[in-house]
Amino acid sequence: MESRLETGAAGWQYPSWSEDFYPEELPPEWRLAFYANEFRFTLVPWHAWSDASDATLAQWSEDIEQPFRFFLQLPLDHLDRVNSVPESLLQVTEGLVITNSEALTAITDTLRSLAARFTLHLDIPVSGTMDYPDNILPCWHDTRPGTGVCQLSIISDPTLASDLRALREHIENFMSLQPHNSTQFLVFDYETLSVETLRNAMTIASLLPV
């Protein structure tokens, strides 16, 4: 059954994947293409792309095929970095995941301007009464689930991810509040992530009503 929920990881480099997912003979530079054969998106952490060369970033867009998409993590105080990202990568970027160490109390003009070009997903503690303009959405996080329309859910707790009943409940709660005519994205982001967890989430999503 086709699901409205896509499942992916924060990046495509994890300790256990060298043995459990990637073939031993696969060169490291081919891992993104291999990952993209099974999954349809990745959230690229800030540390994984902020200092990468233009050539590397442009190569990522060459390593994948549609409908694969990228999300780029971007700290609130480095929003201008997106202006130097190669256009070829931006064309296959689904949205920006904005982070910050402190709570956000208002949507700034800079965020509004950026939202004219990209969908922004705020992975930031925010006021429950904040009014979100078009193209700016809160993230549904395992430690602070949202209460309204979101497009992206981030699971950073390996305990939740390893408990299939809890994982199903998380997915059901997330999907129940989302529009039925849109695609949502479930991201796993912790160092001990296994490919099996991603596959389990895909199976759960496929069994839920569309």
Looking at residue 106, which CATH number applies to its domain? 3.20.20.410
pLDDT in tens, 2-49: 568 999 999 999 989 998 999 999 999 999 999 999 999 999 999 999
CA-to-CA distance for 200 and 21, rounded, in angstroms?
A: 15
Our CA dihedral for 99, 100, 104, 107, rounded to 10 degrees, sits at -50
Read off the pLDDT of residues 121-147 as tens digits, 9 standing for 90 and up.
Answer: 999 887 667 778 889 998 998 776 666
Mean pLDDT, rounded, of the chain: 91
Confidence of residue 209 (pLDDT cuts 50, 70, 90): confident
Q: Is the pLDDT of residue 1 over 60?
A: no
* Tally of domains within the chain: 1
Mean pLDDT of 179-197: 91
Closest CA to 121 of 171, 186, 57: 186
Query: How confident is the model at residue 179, as a pLDDT?
Result: 78
Residue tagged 């994205």 (tokens): 185
**In the predicted structure, residue 191 carries a pLDDT above the cut 60:** yes
Radius of gyration of the CA atoms of the chain, in A: 17
Q: Which domain holds residue 165?
A: 5-207
- DSSP element (H, E) containing 124: none
List, for residues 50-103, the tens digit of each pLDDT value: 999 999 999 999 999 989 999 999 999 999 999 999 999 999 999 999 999 888
